[in-house]
Chain A
Amino acid sequence: MAMTDDAIAHMDAKVSDEVAISIENMNKWYGTFHVLRDIDLTVYRGERIVICGPSGSGKSTLIRCINALEEHQKGAITVDGTLLSSDIKNIDTIRSEVGMVFQHFNLFPHLTILENCTLAPIWVRKIPKKEAEETAMHFLTKVKIPEQANKYPGQLSGGQQQRVAIARSLCMRPRIMLFDEPTSALDPEMIKEVLDTMIELAEEGMTMLCVTHEMGFARQVANRVIFMDDGQIVEQNEPEEFFMNPKSDRTKLFLSQILGH
């Protein structure tokens, strides 16, 4: 939003033919409320997809289903060749392949930053503590806060906490990252530091699914933008086309509301 057109040099990272996530005809109900309707989506390795849409359109629910945080009732989700079922082994495999960053960070307040980052590698990946700490320091350096390693989450600013949350996910060495409105709970001056971290990640070829309203980020980084409304995918296109030439009326309306001011 804040970026001018000149600043946007669209990223040209590689996208391979290998399928990372495939969602076929997926449906989900909350009670009798039909939240997700006939979702079909194929994500290739290295893709950076931005999902946008009005609130309550089901975009968060969609990416939470990929991580099995929510159950879907119909259709199939396949992540890295593993079909998501209620089998706990499958869920474990998928969750260790997929990292997730939440709107409200969800850092563990009783653990230091370093412990936050090493908890899962030690207990899930069974990596020796020393090695896990080295990895954690590597990623904390990458998100530019190695000096905070021994503080507690409550002592950090929102932007810093979100960057720690990203580092915490990266420590599990995921092949896919999901972002659920990672900047919505942040003050304006902190949004940029988190977006910069995400851009850097994209440049390294991480497969990313990102629910966000940061349209500048979408233009610069995404290779595909998906617009959702009423629990269905209404429109998807390359960012340039999507923003310049929206086809659906609902997309036009949404874009005019979000970019209009």
Chain B
Amino acid sequence: MTTITDPPQESFRLSMLLNDTRYRSYTLQFIALILICLFFAWLISNALRNPTLQEIGISFAFLGEAANYDINQRPIPYDSQDTHLRASFVGVLNTLIVAFLGCIMATILGVIAGVLRLSNNWIVARLMAIYVEAFRNVPVLIWILIIFSIVSNALPAPRAFRGEDATASMLFDAFAFTNRGIYMPKPIWEPGSMVVVLTFFASIFAIWAYRRYATKLLYDTGRLLPTFWPSIGIFFLPTLIIFFIMGQPISLEYPELKGFNFGGGVQVRGSFIALWLALSIYTGAFIAENVRAGIQAISKGQTEAAASLGLRPNRIMNLVVLPQALRVIIPPLISQYLNLTKNSSLAIAVGYMDVTGTLGGITLNQSGRALECILLLMLFYLTISLAISAVMNVYNNAVKLKER
């Protein structure tokens, strides 16, 4: 019987702090910690000695004071007598609006461009390549400014719509593209409209349920129901029927020329359109590349194997290629959404009042509380980033391919 003796217990020597693998890393980390603390202490001591900061101190009380400025796009009621806090909140909502709509539009553009870039139509594939390269290689700020100058310079002024010899005309008598933004019909919700809206959401749910039922029927009996036309039918019919049964409770208020400007309807401002379009087209170019890479990552063998089993091209796409490609596409897609959200802070260049424009712009300038405003601004963006990363991690873990 053998015993493994422990190595002789050395007594602790100071040199072991540097040379013994057991202590070395503690020493190094300790030194690093001290250096980092010293660095921060230096920063803070500078701040304490700064004359401006000594004078005004650090306080968040300004958030409760009246903002005294107007915001041109207000998703919630707001006037200039409301507090800076409420102004910032309006800014946050505006950021979220443009980011959300931008992500949707960018996804649509990106998926179309990415798929078309792989098309066997030479000219379409080339055009999409030009789109992708043109937008990826020019700063997004320049695109925002270009689109903003299209909206505010190339479109006619509202008065061009006036009179007998109007040089501009409204699209379908409902949309007016002017240099002050786009005017479009505004829905008027009358009593009973809730029923129509609920029916609409119920029919979307019904489409989902129908498709599930169709798959289940195929699994159980081998009968394959058509899905495309029934889905279209379910989407439109019930809502339309309820709409007329309820006596058309939703009507549209059309924009009309009143004097030199349009009245009624909804005005979508040029700054919003420029920012939204530029961000979507720019991010769309990046998404197109991700989509293309994702589809190309699925080897030709997968398609061939599915084809040799007798599956038709559209089923190969739905059952074999897409489920695999999505795993490759979605993580970079989400980080593109994150980039778009961060880039939406460029709103300040065209005067769209997002959170950077309110909290980081006018509030900062009026209150002079730079440190506090920027801290809050960073916190807001950090929260969004971390939330999106968390979603991404959950997704990645959920779809990870099982391997040995």
List chain A positions with a Cβ less than 8 A from chain B: 67, 69, 88, 92, 95-96, 98-100, 102, 104, 106-110, 119-120, 122-130, 151-152, 154-155, 165, 168-169, 172
B308→A99 contact, CB < 8 A = yes
**Nearest residue, chain B, Cβ from A119:** B319
B304→A69 contact, CB < 8 A = yes
B305→A95 contact, CB < 8 A = no
Within the complex, the shortest CB–CB distance from A153 to chain B, in Å, comes to 9
Number of B residues whose C-beta is below 8 Å from A? 29
Within 8 Å CB of B224, what residues of A?
A: 123, 126
A212 to B111, CA, bound (A): 42
Within 8 Å CB of B309, what residues of A?
A: 95, 119-120, 124, 168-169, 172
The main secondary structure of chain B at its interface with chain A is helix
Would you call B13 an interface residue if the criterion is a C-beta within 8 Å of the partner chain's C-beta atoms?
Answer: no
Of A107, A110, A123, A168, the residue contacting B315 (CB under 8 A) is A123
A108→B302 contact, CB < 8 A = yes
Within 8 Å CB of A120, what residues of B?
A: 306, 309-311
**Nearest residue, chain B, Cβ from A64:** B304
A128→B402 contact, CB < 8 A = no
Of B223, B307, B310, the residue contacting A172 (CB under 8 A) is B310
B220→A152 contact, CB < 8 A = no
Of B222, B223, B320, B404, the residue contacting A154 (CB under 8 A) is B404
A106→B305 contact, CB < 8 A = yes
A211 to B327, CA, bound (A): 34
Known A126-B218, A126-B223, A172-B309; contact A155-B404, beta-carbon cutoff 8 A: yes
B311→A69 contact, CB < 8 A = no
A130 to B302, CA, bound (A): 25
Contacting residues of chain B (213-244) with chain A, CB-CB under 8 angstroms: 218-224
A100→B320 contact, CB < 8 A = no
B403→A155 contact, CB < 8 A = yes
Within 8 Å CB of B319, what residues of A?
A: 119, 123
Apart from A120-B311, A129-B218, A154-B403, what 12 extra A-B contacts exist at CB < 8 Å? A69-B307, A88-B312, A106-B299, A108-B324, A110-B327, A124-B309, A127-B222, A129-B220, A130-B220, A152-B403, A154-B402, A168-B309
